[in-house]
Structure 1
C-alpha cells in the first residue's frame, strides 16, 4: 500500500485529491496539511511514501517544505509538486530543491494516480518539454535557489554510455525504454543511471535532467 500525504491550503483541492487517491486499492491518504509548516511533523509521524505538495501556501511554501523534508528526514518520501501553472518559476525551484516531478491541478484523476505510482516506484515524473522550457526561462538566473553539488556537467567525466543514458533520461525515457533503445539489460541501465547521478552529484533523475539542460549538454 502506497501511503500519501496531501499538502494544500485549499480544502476543495485536498478533498478532491483524497477522493481520487482513496478510490484506488493500492493507494491510501494517511494525512493532510493546510500549510507547509505542518508537513515536516506529519512526514515524521505518518511516514508517507509520497507527498503531494502545493507550492503556494501562506506560512511555509512548498519549496521550503520540500527542502526541509529532504535535508532532515533520513528516508524521505517522494515529493510531487501540485501547481496551477507549469511555467511558474516556483515549479522550477521546487524541482531543483529535490521534488521528483510536478502535476497540474487540472490533471485528470488517472494522471494523478499514475503520477503517484510512478514516483512511489522510484522513477521521476519527467515532462521533458516542460523542463526544457523551465530551464531555458529560469536556469540562467537560478543561482540564488541553490545548485546541486557536483555541477557543472562538463566536469562530471561521464563515459559515452553514461552520456547516452543521460540524453535518453532527458527525453523522459524509463529504464526499460532506455534498455530497449540502447540494447542493454535493465539492470545495466540502472547501474549507468546510478553512475550518472553520482558523477553529477544529483539526488535523482529530475535533478540530473535539469543539470543536463542548464549546462547545455541537452538542448
Structure 2
C-alpha cells in the first residue's frame, strides 16, 4: 500500500523479513495489536541486529494502557490506537523522524483523568543530576567537574540511565526523559 511518499509493506510471512531489512529505505517496523509481545520482541531483536537505526511503532487497543506503557519504556516511538487511519500513522511517523519526539495517542491523556500517568522510571537523585547536565549538552568531563565525581562514575551513571530509559545513546535519553517529564 502506498500513502503519499511512504510505502507500507505488510509482512505476514517471516521468510520475507530479511529482504525487507536489507532495503535501505526501510525505517520503521509497525506492529498491530494482534501480535503478542514475545513475537514483537523477537522481530525487533532481529531487526535491530540488521539495522540499529530502525524505529518502532505499535497500534494497540485503547483499553490496554499497561502494554502502551511497557512499549513506550522499551523505546516505541509511536503508539496509536488500532483504529487509527493509515494517513494519521504516517503523519505520526513523519513527525517522529523530523522532530525526534515520541507520539503517543490520547490513550495516556485519557488515562491521566482516570488516575493513570506516564510510566515512571526509577532514576536515582544522582542519575537525575547527570541527566539534567546531559540535557544541557555537557560532556562527561564537565559533568564530573560539576558534580565532583570521576569521569568513570559519570559513565557508570550514564550506562544506568540508558538502560533504565531503554535507549541507545545520550540524545535518545534526553528525548525520552523529556517525554516522561523527567527533565
The TM-score normalised by the length of structure 1 is 0.50
Mapped to 1, the partners of 2:176 and 2:58 lie a distance apart of: 14
Mapped to 2, the partners of 1:87 and 1:121 lie a distance apart of: 28
Q: 2:7 aligns with which of 11, 25, 28?
A: 28
In structure 2, relative to structure 1, the CA distance for the partners of 1:28 and 1:138 (3 Å cut) is closer
Unaligned runs of 5+ in 1: 1-17, 141-146, 166-188
Mapped to 2, the partners of 1:207 and 1:67 lie a distance apart of: 20
Q: 1:113 aligns with which of 90, 96, 101?
A: 90
1:61 match: 39
In our comparison, the structure showing a higher alpha carbon Rg is 2
Q: Aligned pair count?
A: 152
Mapped to 2, the partners of 1:39 and 1:97 lie a distance apart of: 25
In structure 2, relative to structure 1, the CA distance for the partners of 1:91 and 1:159 (3 Å cut) is closer
Q: Helix, strand or coil: the match of 2:70? A: helix
Runs of 4+ in 1 over 6 A off after TM superposition: none
The TM-score normalised by the length of structure 2 is 0.57
In structure 2, relative to structure 1, the CA distance for the partners of 1:155 and 1:126 (3 Å cut) is farther
1:156 match: 127
Mapped to 2, the partners of 1:160 and 1:46 lie a distance apart of: 35
Unaligned runs of 5+ in 2: 144-156
TM-superposed deviation, 1:89: 1.9
Cα root mean square deviation, aligned: 4.2
Deviations 1:122-162 (A, max 9, x none): 5233338745748947947xxxxxx8xxx515222437976
